[in-house]
Amino acid sequence: MTLPSTMRTLCLIPPMTQLNVPYPSSAYLTGFLRSRGIAAEQEDIALKVVLELFSPAGLRAILDKVKALPAKKRSATLHCFADQFDRYLATITPAVAFLQGRDPSIGHRICGRNFLPEGPRFASLDAFLDDGSGDPLAWAFGALGVQDRARHLATLYLNDLADVLREAVDERFEFVRYAESLAQSQPTFEPLARALAAAPTLVDQTLEKLTLAAVDRSNPGLVLISVPFPGSVYAAFRMARAIKAHAPAIVIVLGGGYVNTELRELKEARVFDYFDYVTLDDGERPLLALLEHLDGWRPRLNLVRTFARVDGQVRYFNSNEPDIPFAEVGTPTWDGLPLDRYLSLLDMLNPMHRLWSDGRWNKLTVAHGCYWKKCSFCDVSLDYIGRYDGAPAALLVDRIEEIIGETGQTGFHFVDEAAPPKALKALADELEKRNRAISWWGNIRFEKSFTPDLCNQLADSGCIAVSGGLEVASDRLLTLMKKGVSVDQVARVTKAFSNAGILVHAYLMYGFPTQTVQDTVDALEYVRQLFAEGCIQSGFFHRFACTVHSPVGQNPAEYGIKLKPLPPIRFATNDVEFIDPTGVDHRSLGVALNKALYNYMYGIGLDEDVRSWFSTRVQKTRVPRNFIAKALRTSA
């Protein structure tokens, strides 16, 4: 296909996603479009906004906002910032450069604790154990570890500044999300419309300025804005509105993970004051169809999975054409993204947990969708999970080598829903065949196919860490969830990974339908034992949310619950509230679970009775204290 020059495409990443690596959607779409001979460029506006705000000029603008507040309304955080502003001004550029990996020598000064101003966030250091040296971080970094120690201190410094910005400029700002509540499962567009009509904050003004600069550099005919999460939706609409006012002829398309899950019942016509088209699911086929339509080769009626406004009403067009096979989507490209400007943050000292925010990982998928696609809490009815499509290992390694050639970086994060064991083994075989050295980590299911031999082979291929869903550590609930695993099986698999030198992170869940307090206490005991036996090194508890696209949401009676009626939907829908006859206060239990887990990740409290973490009296666990140890001996 040969397109006119006016159809040059620009892919934009809106705030906020993450700071250490670019979100991969633009890299995938840019790589695909170029593979089809379409001129495509990309820019990460999320990163640019952060770098602009956390610069000398940005700090001066933030100080003006602080000074505009009455002194009696300024918190300790704001007073600290204003009182030490000259030091913040002097240190912001070297601190950011250090976190970008461009000025490692300044790490020695940062570690001295007399270079960076220290605000309230540094109080967290008091929680760490002191080995008697007077240095609370000595247990984590020892006598050396200058770079990691400095990165943690610089991260606290940056978090202090984020707190200042949030209090004085825009309370909706966070490094990984922006104004999330305006879009998450919002049945009506009104909250978002009101926010967009309000006077822009400093963050909004910065966002709009950087967006228009990117458009002027690229001069595109088509702009693609991908919103993976609710926390990037508000910014996406701000960006689209600025582009429309600046260059009305540019066609703007909205897509991404948020759209695919929450806007499937879109009826709100006002969305199209900002965007010309909204596409669902994988973007490759809809974009090819849209480009043909815009070039006059395809009627609008034959668009693919695309919303548009026609005569004031939202219409959905879908000619049901097959998706582009995973083997033919091309190799993602990071060309145009400033890989040396991303910030590696070290929020948590846990070696596994840090991978999400530290390091620049090339993001890649082993296969499209999930090969299991049975978990009852998951959106298995949606394309990104329900349509499984793999690719030969040789092609995957071709893509790996092409990406290494482009980026010069050999670290990969496989972002599959759950990478298949057979595909990972084939990938390891191919890497060994080519004598290609990389490091990689990704998400899996803790299934029995991951034998000790396979875990060792994966470690030899470069695997440094895996994450997987243990969810509620209860065989009854795992069966109800259709996870296809048991607690003792998870113990054996995770131990096999750990024995191979691979870090293990467990996704954990509470509040699943029919989960009792006793179930919760027992689950925490299983988790304690998994940490104590060295099976897992990291974990995260999240509250179960029932979604309309999951088996639980579609067949609630099967799980013993009753859904609360949804309001009329014109904009977004995903989470749905439900009535659980157990009547358990999961919110208060969640506080205890997360407190326990935080300590377990630092090796603290592993010998304590799990009841000690709860603020109210709970039942004694029914789990034998040596359950996991016995399960591991059985497998030996």
Domain-embedded: residue 343 = no
**Based on the number of CB atoms within 10 Å of its own CB, is 71 exposed (0-12), middle (13-18) or buried (19 or more)?**
exposed
> Do 542 and 580 lie in a common domain?
yes
> Do 142 and 163 lie in a common domain?
yes
- Rounded distance, CA 429 to CA 437, Å? 12
Rounded average pLDDT over 407-416: 96
- Rounded distance, CA 565 to CA 563, Å? 6
- Rounded distance, CA 199 to CA 190, Å? 16
pLDDT at 140: 62
**Is 498:504 a contact under the CB 8 Å cutoff?**
yes
Contacts of 466 (CB under 8 A, 6+ apart): 441, 442, 443, 444, 497, 502, 503, 504, 505
- Rounded distance, CA 282 to CA 368, Å? 10
Of 124, 159, 175, the residue at which a domain comes to its end is: 175
**Is 418:484 a contact under the CB 8 Å cutoff?**
no
Smallest CA-to-CA distance from 346 within 361, 358, 335 is with: 358
By DSSP bridging, strand 306-310 and strand 313-317 are antiparallel
* Model confidence pLDDT, tens digit, residues 429-473: 999 999 999 999 999 999 999 999 999 999 999 999 999 999 998
pLDDT value at 278 more than 80? yes
pLDDT at 71: 86
> Do 377 and 477 lie in a common domain?
yes
Rounded average pLDDT over 166-192: 93
* Model confidence pLDDT, tens digit, residues 43-83: 999 999 999 999 999 999 999 999 999 988 899 999 999 99
Overall size of the chain counted in residues: 636
Rounded average pLDDT over 617-628: 95
Q: What's the pTM value of the predicted model, to 2 decimals?
A: 0.94
Rounded average pLDDT over 511-537: 96
Residue 144: band (very low, low, confident or very high) from pLDDT cuts 50, 70, 90: low
Q: What is the CATH number of the domain that holds 403?
A: 3.80.30.20
> Do 423 and 561 lie in a common domain?
yes
Of 145, 175, 205, the residue at which a domain comes to its end is: 175
Task: Provide the percentage of residues in the chain whose pLDDT is more than 70.
Answer: 96
**Is 451:499 a contact under the CB 8 Å cutoff?**
no
Containing domain of residue 157, as a range?
A: 51-175
Smallest CA-to-CA distance from 276 within 250, 312, 306, 251 is with: 251
Element (H, E) at 478: helix 475-481
Domain-embedded: residue 425 = yes
**Is 52:17 a contact under the CB 8 Å cutoff?**
no
- Alpha-helical regions (H) of 256-392: 257-262, 284-294, 383-386
pLDDT value at 348 more than 50? yes
* Model confidence pLDDT, tens digit, residues 199-227: 999 999 999 999 999 999 999 999 999 99
Q: What does the block give as tokens for 529?
A: 């034992």
**Is 138:131 a contact under the CB 8 Å cutoff?**
yes
pLDDT value at 133 more than 90? no
Domain-embedded: residue 338 = no
Q: What is the CATH number of the domain that holds 284?
A: 3.40.50.280
pLDDT at 5: 33
Rounded average pLDDT over 360-381: 94
- Rounded distance, CA 612 to CA 593, Å? 11
Contacts of 48 (CB under 8 A, 6+ apart): 210, 214
Residue 353: band (very low, low, confident or very high) from pLDDT cuts 50, 70, 90: confident
- Rounded distance, CA 44 to CA 612, Å? 46
Contacts of 311 (CB under 8 A, 6+ apart): none
Residue 634: band (very low, low, confident or very high) from pLDDT cuts 50, 70, 90: confident
Rounded average pLDDT over 382-397: 95
> Do 139 and 232 lie in a common domain?
no
pLDDT at 127: 64
- Looking at every residue in the chain, the average pLDDT score rounds to 94
pLDDT at 164: 97
- In three-state secondary structure terms, 508 is strand
Smallest CA-to-CA distance from 629 within 537, 539, 534 is with: 534
> Do 260 and 193 lie in a common domain?
yes
> Do 144 and 36 lie in a common domain?
no
> Do 251 and 107 lie in a common domain?
no
Q: Could you write out the DSSP letters of every residue in 545-614?
A: --BTTSHHHH-GGGGT-EEPPPPPPSS---B--EE-TT---HHHHHHHHHHHHHHHTTT-STTS-GGGG-
Domain-embedded: residue 332 = no
pLDDT value at 1 more than 50? no
Domain-embedded: residue 112 = yes
pLDDT value at 338 more than 50? yes
Rounded average pLDDT over 165-172: 96
Burial 102-131 (b: 16+ CB within 10 A, else e): eeeebbeebbeeebbbbbebbeebeebeee
> Do 491 and 391 lie in a common domain?
yes
Contacts of 491 (CB under 8 A, 6+ apart): 529, 530, 533, 535, 628, 631, 632
pLDDT at 320: 86
Torsion angle defined by CA atoms of residues 571, 574, 575 and 581, in that order, rounded to the nearest 10 degrees: 120
Tell me which of 31-35, 40-44, 349-353, 432-436 is least confident: 349-353
Q: What does the block give as tokens for 583?
A: 């009547």
Q: Could you write out the DSSP letters of every residue in 181-236?
A: GGTTT-SSSHHHHHHHHSPP-HHHHHHHHHHHHHHHHH--SEEEEE--SGGGHHHH
Of 327, 356, 373, the residue at which a domain comes to its end is: 327
By DSSP bridging, strand 40-44 and strand 251-255 are unpaired
> Do 79 and 39 lie in a common domain?
no
> Do 489 and 371 lie in a common domain?
yes
> ∠382-385-388 over CA atoms, to 5°?
120
- Rounded distance, CA 604 to CA 21, Å? 31
Smallest CA-to-CA distance from 417 within 451, 468, 376, 475 is with: 468
Domain count, the chain: 3
Rounded average pLDDT over 393-421: 96
Smallest CA-to-CA distance from 54 within 129, 198, 163, 171 is with: 163
- Rounded distance, CA 457 to CA 475, Å? 29
> Do 535 and 457 lie in a common domain?
yes
pLDDT value at 527 more than 50? yes
Domain-embedded: residue 391 = yes
Rounded average pLDDT over 481-495: 94
pLDDT at 181: 87
Domain-embedded: residue 341 = no
Cβ atoms within 10 A of the Cβ of 145, count? Answer: 16
pLDDT value at 606 more than 50? yes
Domain-embedded: residue 410 = yes
- Rounded distance, CA 217 to CA 455, Å? 47
By DSSP bridging, strand 503-510 and strand 538-543 are parallel
User: Side chain identity at 412, as an amino acid letter?
Assistant: F
Q: How many helices (H) and strands (E) does the chain have?
A: 23, 17
**Is 222:190 a contact under the CB 8 Å cutoff?**
no
Residue 121: band (very low, low, confident or very high) from pLDDT cuts 50, 70, 90: very high
Q: SS3 string of 77-127?
A: HHHHHHHCHHHHHHHHHHHHHHHCCCCHHHHHHHHCCCCCCCCHHHHHHHH
Cβ atoms within 10 A of the Cβ of 585, count? Answer: 10
Higher local confidence (pLDDT), 137 or 593:
593
